[in-house]
Amino acid sequence: MKRYNFWTLALSVMANLIAIPFPSWGQTAFPKEKQDGAILHAFCWSFNTIRDNMKAIHDAGFTMVQTSPANRCYVGEDGGMEIYGKGKWYYHYQPIEWTIGNYQLGSEEDFKAMTAEARKYGITVLVDVLPNHTAFDTTAVVPEFVAAVGGHDKLYHANGLNPIKDYDDRFECTTGGVGGLPDVNTENPLFQYYFMTYVNRLIADGAGGFRYDTAKHIGLPSDPLDEKSEKNDFWEVATGRKPVNGLTLANKDSLFIYGEVLQGKNVKEKEYSRYVGLTASNYGGEIRKALVQGSFKGVDIQSWHHPANPRHLVTWVESHDTYCNEGESSGLTDAQVRCGWTILVARAAGVPLFLSRPAGSSPENRWGNNRIGERGNDNFFHPEVVAANRFRQQMKGEPEHLRFSSDSTVVGIERGRHGLALVNVGEATAVSLPTSLPDGKYTDVVHQQSFSVKGGKLEGRMEKQESYLLYSLP
Rounded-to-integer distance, Cα 188 and Cα 231, Å: 9
Rounded-to-integer distance, Cα 13 and Cα 264, Å: 30
Choice among 172, 187, 236, 260 that is catalytic: 260
Choice among 110, 117, 172, 213 that is catalytic: 213
Rounded-to-integer distance, Cα 137 and Cα 91, Å: 11
Pairing of strands 277-279, 313-316: parallel
282, 308 contact by CB (below 8 A): no
Pairing of strands 440-444, 3-6: parallel
Decide if 334 is catalytic: no
Phi, psi of 50 (to 5 degrees): -60, -45
Decide if 213 is catalytic: yes
Amino acid occupying residue 394 = Q
Q: Alpha helices of 149-206 — where are they, by DSSP H?
A: 152-155, 170-175, 189-204
Q: What are the Cα distances from residue 71, in Å, to 22, 183, 205, 426, 428?
A: 37, 17, 13, 43, 47
Helix (H, G, I), strand (E, B) or coil at 234: helix
224, 256 contact by CB (below 8 A): no
81 burial (CB, 10 Å; 0-12 / 13-18 / 19+) is middle
Catalytic residues: 213, 260
